[in-house]
Structure 1
Amino acid sequence: MLQKIRMLLMFAFVIQPHLSAKFCMRRYVNGKWITKGDCGGPERMSSIQKELQLRAADEKKKKKRIADKKWTVFQRIKYGNVDFFRGWDDYVNGFGDRDGDFWLGLEALNRLTKEGNTELKVKMISKRGIYSVAKYSNFAIGPGSDNYRLHVSGFSGNVTYDALYYNDNEQFSTKDADHDDAHSQNCANRQGGGWWYGGCASFLNGNFNKTYPMGIWWGSQHLRFSEMKFRKRL
């Protein structure tokens, strides 16, 4: 579609009101528009360009809407009305309201990401109202036999801190199933939610009304909103 629009920008035929057609060719060469034939003056070409630019913008928006629909949200904390301080079985099977605060479930995450070629996006809003996005080009969750180990890499986004760097290759832990690296304590019990703990550091499954060590945190950012979603790489 965009290629067709570019072609229309280079070759335009202006149809006059009395059904007579006047040839108009306009090309963009070395930073300048070169016109051949009768293009009806600069006002006419300006209207044509605006129309084509609008079409290109609409096409871009359409592609973005299609791409957005392909994301699968698997974690969200927005209202703070769902308890994330839960045991292993709840985290395996999922809980909460898909339209509000919820967790999809580790078994579903493994089934949907185990083949790879999956990317991750994390959206967050801090207590100060700062909106941030972290993206990862590679994301997968291992099987239950390996305690749903996290595999994540390829960080980018407008947040400067790669908080999941310390969670990569970690098994999932809950208050009743301790698989973290902090041998002296259960991080899920200390922080108030299940997570892939690489030590008791950043985590998103908590209660945003709580303060450290509980709450939801991305590095040193105390959050009031988090959403995690994945899709097959385009």
Structure 2
Amino acid sequence: MLIKKNKDNQLCQAVVNTLNKTLPNTLIPSSCSPFGDSPGVHQLNISGVGFFDVLCDSQLAGPGWIVIQQRVGGNEDFNRDWATYRNGFGSFESDFFLGLEKIHRITSLQRYELYIHLVAVNGRTYNARYDDFKISDEDNGYAMSLGKFNGTIIDDAMRDSENMKFETSDSENDGFGDYYSCADINKSGWWYNFCINCNLNVPYWQNLSWYSIDLKEVKMLIRPKGSDEEVSN
């Protein structure tokens, strides 16, 4: 009987050890929503990608937002190749791009909205919001769709990029052959339709703008659609 108890105890301990190893991983969320009003760097667990850090924001437009792109006056070079844009680059403390594959995997989980925070050179702030943002997989060029638009900025400048594949200087998605590339001209990767109008990855010295509004700061944020918190500047 004593032997049976020891075996039972060993079995129970083995189960506990397994749970201790696996349970923390299952508690790691797939969005910033569970972190509520606790902004900063948090870890997500996304199928197909695994564990990675994201910058969560609860100050610009309510809780639960993942910052997928940030331009705050840093010196990060956005003239990167396809592989670098796919994987992501930069620093959460300055300028960064989260990565196309991560954004694709996140927005494939459920319906997401996109919020873009814009700060003009004159200091005035604007926002643009889209209610069904997602990008396709790599085989389809990480093409972007947006949903409906609203916001405090009048023009829907991102609409020109809807359904366009992402393009970098070494990609084959520009559609113009070897003689013309918006990524080469603008020194950055983007969902190009036209080479101008709206490219939020362009270098600061080369028309970082929303149509005619020159910008000094940009942040692109996403969160699951369905939150009712009021959005502000």
Global fold match (TM > 0.5): yes
Residue 194 (structure 1) aligns with = 189
Task: State how 1:36-47 maps to structure 2 within 5 Å.
Answer: none
1:157 aligns with 2:151: yes
- Closer, same or farther in 2 for the Cα pair 1:223/1:181, shift >3 Å? farther
1:100 aligns with 2:94: yes
- Matches of 2:80 and 2:121 in 1, distance apart? 24
1:71 aligns with 2:47: no
Deviations 1:118-174 (A, max 9, x none): 100000111222211000011001000101010112100000010111100000001
Residue 210 (structure 2) aligns with = 218
Deviations 1:194-219 (A, max 9, x none): 000012121000221x1xxx231211
- Matches of 1:128 and 1:106 in 2, distance apart? 31
For 2:120, which of 106, 118, 126 is the aligned residue?
A: 126
CA root-mean-square deviation:
2.0
Instruction: State the structure with bigger RCO (CA 8 A, min sep 6), 1 or 2.
Output: 2
Task: Please list every run of 5 or more consecutive structure 1 residues that lacks an aligned counterpart in the other structure.
Answer: 1-61
- Matches of 1:146 and 1:123 in 2, distance apart? 28
How far off is 1:175 after superposition? 1.1
- Matches of 1:167 and 1:93 in 2, distance apart? 21
Give the conservation status (yes or no) of the 8 Å contact 1:149–1:172: yes
- Matches of 1:181 and 1:228 in 2, distance apart? 26
The residue type paired with residue 150 of structure 1 is M
Give the conservation status (yes or no) of the 8 Å contact 2:74–2:94: no
- Closer, same or farther in 2 for the Cα pair 1:187/1:156, shift >3 Å? same
- Matches of 1:139 and 1:99 in 2, distance apart? 25
Task: Please list every run of 5 or more consecutive structure 2 residues that lacks an aligned counterpart in the other structure.
Answer: 1-36, 38-57, 228-233
> 3-state DSSP class of the match of 2:183?
helix
- Matches of 1:80 and 1:144 in 2, distance apart? 28
**Which structure: larger Rg?**
1
How far off is 1:181 after superposition? 4.9
1:203 aligns with 2:199: yes
For 1:185, which of 180, 188, 195 is the aligned residue?
A: 180
Give the conservation status (yes or no) of the 8 Å contact 1:124–1:227: yes
Residue 3 (structure 1) aligns with = none
How far off is 1:103 after superposition? 0.4
For 1:87, which of 81, 87, 91 is the aligned residue?
A: 81
- Give every structure 1 segment of 4 or more consecutive aligned residues whose post-TM-superposition deviation is greater than 4 Å: 181-184
How far off is 1:182 after superposition? 5.2
How far off is 1:222 after superposition? 1.7
How far off is 1:96 after superposition? 0.4
Deviations 1:7-61 (A, max 9, x none): xxxxxxxxxxxxxxxxxxxxxxxxxxxxxxxxxxxxxxxxxxxxxxxxxxxxxxx
TM-score by length of 2: 0.67
- Matches of 2:121 and 2:186 in 1, distance apart? 18
How far off is 1:179 after superposition? 1.3
- Matches of 1:181 and 1:155 in 2, distance apart? 27
The residue type paired with residue 111 of structure 1 is R
- Matches of 2:200 and 2:125 in 1, distance apart? 15
> 3-state DSSP class of the match of 1:188?
helix
1:173 aligns with 2:167: yes
TM-score by length of 1: 0.67
